[in-house]
Structure 1
Amino acid sequence: MARLLPFIFVVLWASAFVSSKIIVADATPFAALTLRYLIVSAGFLIVAAIWRENLRAAPDDIGAAALIGVLFHGVSIGSVFFAVSVGLPAGIAALINSIHPILTSALAGPLLGERVSLRQWVGIVLGFGGVVVVLGLDVGANLPAAGVMAAIAGLFALSAATLWQRKRANRLSLTVTNFYQAAAAGLFHLAVMALIETPAITVTLPFVVSLGWQIVAISFGAFTILLILLKSGSASQTSALFFLVPPVSILMAWVLLGETLTTVDLIGLAIATIGVYLATRGTPAR
């Protein structure tokens, strides 16, 4: 089962892009995210009560979990929702986001003492190349500056959260960690919503199904798997899985939304898959 976790993670994470498209059609981004994370934090609080887990922890551990939650669930995810809402193509947002494994691997050495081998670097480069093939390089000159800056901010937040989570991976249980992260993210999105947004939600069946999917499959499923992977593997190995997300998202959009799938997309997916295989083999020396 443990060997299947990376594949399950990629499929679940990729589904977030497809479901996000449906959500923002019926709601402003930060209103939807506020609702999502307040429900998620309440869910983890209930799970902690059922399992009799103690939420008390050292203040620095709670603070670290909250900070990671703001970076991971708040800035990283919120920036993608915002960027797409102001007109940045989802593919360009995904391309910017896919630089995350390169940035994380470059910082994992000096910050965590992880060594990234030549084979893994080759895999990282191939993985990024596969993403570029799938998404293309025709980014155009009329991209919204606010969207680009938001996507870049999300990129750095994602890498920072990955590295910090890896560093403190064993300090709190998964349930307690998820609770504090989700609660902090919910408050973050609530604050952003109050500052920049006129919140609006139209309750439709597609909205309810998509939001429910993101709550159960992404927040409870994918993020828990990600925490497990960061506990058992290196930051650079785990982050390399993100190279598969844009190609798999395109496959899902083809199946679920009727979007176009080309031969070039399949070639890019194959290249990214080879890259991820190389980047995730072996354990870096520490």
Structure 2
Amino acid sequence: MTKSFPLLFILLWSSAFISGKEIVQNASPFAALAFRFGIVTIGFLVFAYFSNDKIFGKLKNIIESISTGILFHGIYLGGCWYAFSIGMPAAIVALIVTLQPILTNILSGPIFGEKISWKQWAGISLGFVGSVTVLGIDFGKEIPPLGLVATVLALFAITAGTLWQKKLSGNLALSVNNAYQAIGGCLFNLLLMFIFENAYINFTTSFILGMSHQIILVSFGAFTILMFLIKRGTVGKTTTLFFLVPPTSAVMAWIFLNEQLTFTDIIGFLITTVGVFIATRDKKNG
């Protein structure tokens, strides 16, 4: 069962970009994220209660989980959604965030002693090239300075959050850890909402469906799998999976949103798949 988790993670995580479009059209970004993680907090706490997981652990562990939640759900997601809301081209945001596996692999060596072989670096390079091919970056578009700053902050946040989470894995039950992370994300986005935006949420059918998808499949599904993969595997190999997100999102947009899927997209998908396979396969297999 767990062998299918990487594939399931990619499918669920990539689908977030499909429903995200509906959400940002019906709500201000920080209000939507605060609402989302408020619901997610309740869900994980209920699950933890019925699973007999210890909810109140050491204060130090709770604060650490809340802090990683601020990095993942506050600065990373908040930065990306804010950038979208002020006109930052989605492809540029995706390109910058796609640097995360490279940055994580560079840092995982000195922090965790993970050794990255030349074959893995070759795979990582192919993964990045494939992602850029799919994104089809148009640098002629105007880039809002604040959007660029927000996206770069998002990149560093998800990198730091991933590395920190690897160090903290096992201190709290997974459901409890996720609950405190959601609390951190909710409170941080509430703070940003009050400071930076005229908050609004239009509870249209498309918003409700999109938010339900984000909560159930992405927060409860994909993010939980990500935390599991970070705990069980090397952080470098886990983050390399993110290279598959842009091409998978492109295929999903073609299927569900009727968006065009070009020959270039297909080539990029194939390049990325080969790269991720090379970067993540076990040494004993080659």
Q: Secondary structure of the residue that 1:200 maps to in structure 2?
A: coil
- 2: distance between equivalents of 1:275 and 1:131? 10
> What is the rounded CA distance, in whole Å, between the counterparts of 1:239 and 1:74 in structure 2?
19
* Counterpart-to-counterpart distance in 1, 2:170 and 2:280: 21
The letter for the 1-side match of 2:17 is F
Gaps of 5+ in 1: none
Using the alignment, how far apart are the partners of 2:283 and 2:60 within structure 1? 29
CA distance in structure 1 between the aligned counterparts of 2:45 and 2:4, rounded to whole angstroms: 28
The amino acid that maps onto 2:235 is: A
The 8 Å contact of residues 69 and 184 in structure 1, kept in 2 or not, is answered as yes
Does 1:45 find its partner at 2:54?
no
Hey, what's the Cα distance between the residues in 1 that align with 2:61 and 2:118?
35
CA contact (8 A) 2:11 2:248 kept: yes
Letter in 2 for 1:101: P
- Percent identity, aligned pairs only, is 46
Q: Does 1:165 align with 2:165?
A: yes
* Separation (CA, whole Å) in 2 of partners of 1:182 and 1:48: 13
Deviation, structure 1 residue 52: 2.1
- For the residue of structure 1 that corresponds to 2:142, the secondary structure is coil
Q: Work out whether residues 234 and 283 of structure 1, in 8 Å CA contact, stay in contact via their aligned partners in 2.
A: no
Q: How does 1:82-231 map to 2 (within 5 A)?
A: 82-140=82-140, 142-231=142-231
Matched residue of 2:140: which SS?
coil
Report deviation, 1:141.
5.3
1:73 aligns with 2:73: yes
**C-alpha displacement at 1:139, in angstroms?**
1.9
Q: Say which SS state the counterpart of residue 260 (structure 1) adopts.
A: coil
CA 195–283 in structure 1, closer or farther in 2 if over 3 Å, else same = farther
Counterparts of 1:57 and 1:50 in 2: how far apart (Å)?
17
Q: What is the CA deviation profile of residues 112-132 of structure 1, one whole-angstrom value per residue up to 9, with x for unaligned ones?
A: 111111111111000000011
Shift, 1:230, TM fit: 0.7
TM-score normalised by structure 2 residue count: 0.97
Provide the residue aligned with 1:282 in structure 2. Answer: 282
Q: 1:188 to 1:7 in 2, by over 3 A?
A: same
One-letter amino acid of the structure 2 residue matched with residue 164 of structure 1: W
* Separation (CA, whole Å) in 2 of partners of 1:75 and 1:27: 18
Query: Within 2, Cα distance between the matches of 1:54 and 1:172?
Result: 8
Deviation of residue 20 (structure 1)?
0.8
2: CA distance, partners of 1:239 / 1:120: 12
Distance 2:73 2:144 in 1: 23
Structure 1 distance, partners of 2:72, 2:257, is 27
Query: 2:260 is matched with which residue?
Result: 260
What are the Cα deviations for residues 157-183 of structure 1, in whole angstroms up to 9, with x where unaligned?
A: 000001011111121111110010001
Task: Provide the C-alpha distance between the structure 2 equivalents of 1:120 and 1:240, rounded to a whole number of angstroms.
Answer: 10
Aligned mates of 1:206, 1:245 — CA distance in 2: 23
Aligned length, in residue pairs: 284
Q: 1:233–1:283: 8 Å Cα contact kept in structure 2?
A: no
